[in-house]
């Protein structure tokens, strides 16, 4: 049985969404990061910085959402979410790298200097720079995204999942999206697996 260590509205949602898309059985264990549970010895043995997501799959223990999702798709997907064709797979990887390093990075920096860091470490002057960086990355995305249903080929992949999740994070942080990307985000967020994943993490948090 796969175990996912999660916290609602975090990057762990990418993993629960992947698990649901692949139809895998798993248990979801809530880590109350807001109560310091991430810094316990037990969880630090799973994640060296005490964060989520983490999965345990038999003897395999992995942290960081991108390699976890790639592992799950590669191990259990049989071509779902991660293409078997080497060129298409490389294109998915290129988008995952762009989403995490260019698009998500300024959003996380904004979050850190808004609520995640201790108050005495937050620098309000960073926030306009974060907004500028995000809009710059969004413009770069638009140079390649022209309203197509999927980022790679003609099927839903991890690239679409990560982009839809990151764009939703941007909306929650009051960033405006171009209409074509807003439609893209809404369309993929209507996938049944996405709703099931969110519900499972929510249930684990309230258990």
pLDDT tens digits for range 119-136: 999 999 999 999 999 999
Distance CA 100, CA 162 (A): 8
Q: Which residues pair with 62 in a beta bridge?
A: 55
Residues with Cβ within 8 Å of residue 205, at least 6 apart in sequence: 7, 8, 30, 32
pLDDT in tens, 40-83: 999 999 999 999 999 999 999 999 999 999 999 999 999 999 99
DSSP-derived secondary structure letter, 157: B
Tell me the three state secondary structure of residue 73: helix
The residues of the chain that CATH labels 3.40.30.10 are 2-80+193-206
Distance CA 109, CA 164 (A): 19
For the domain spanning 86-190, the CATH number is: 1.20.1050.10
| CB-CB contact of 131 with 105 (8 Å) | no
Q: Are strands 54-57 and 60-63 parallel, antiparallel or unpaired?
A: antiparallel
Please state the separation of Cα 51 from the chain's center in Å.
Answer: 13
Structure tokens at 119: 């108050």
The residues of the chain that CATH labels 1.20.1050.10 are 86-190
pLDDT at 56: 98
Distance CA 191, CA 168 (A): 14
- Assigned fold of 2-80+193-206: Glutaredoxin (3.40.30)
């Amino acid at each position: 049985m796969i175990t996912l260590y999660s916290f609602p509205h975090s990057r762990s949602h990418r993993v629960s969404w992947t698990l649901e898309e692949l139809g895998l059985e798993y248990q979801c264990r809530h880590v109350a990061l807001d109560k310091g549970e991430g810094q316990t010895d037990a969880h630090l043995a799973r994640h060296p910085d005490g964060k989520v997501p983490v999965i345990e799959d038999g003897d395999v223990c992995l942290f960081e959402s991108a390699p976890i999702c790639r592992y799950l798709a590669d191990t259990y997907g049989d071509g779902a979410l991660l293409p078997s064709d080497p060129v298409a797979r490389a294109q998915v990887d290129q988008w995952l790298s762009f989403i995490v390093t260019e698009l998500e990075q300024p959003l996380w920096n904004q979050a850190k200097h808004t609520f995640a860091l201790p108050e005495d470490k937050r620098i309000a002057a960073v926030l306009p720079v974060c907004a500028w960086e995000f809009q710059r990355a969004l413009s770069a995305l638009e140079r390649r995204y022209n309203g197509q249903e999927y980022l790679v080929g003609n099927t839903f992949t991890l690239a679409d999942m990560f982009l839809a999740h990151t764009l939703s994070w941007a909306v929650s942080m009051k960033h405006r999206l171009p209409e074509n990307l807003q439609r893209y985000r809404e369309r993929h967020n209507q996938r049944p697996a996405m709703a099931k994943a969110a519900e499972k993490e929510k249930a684990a948090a309230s258990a």
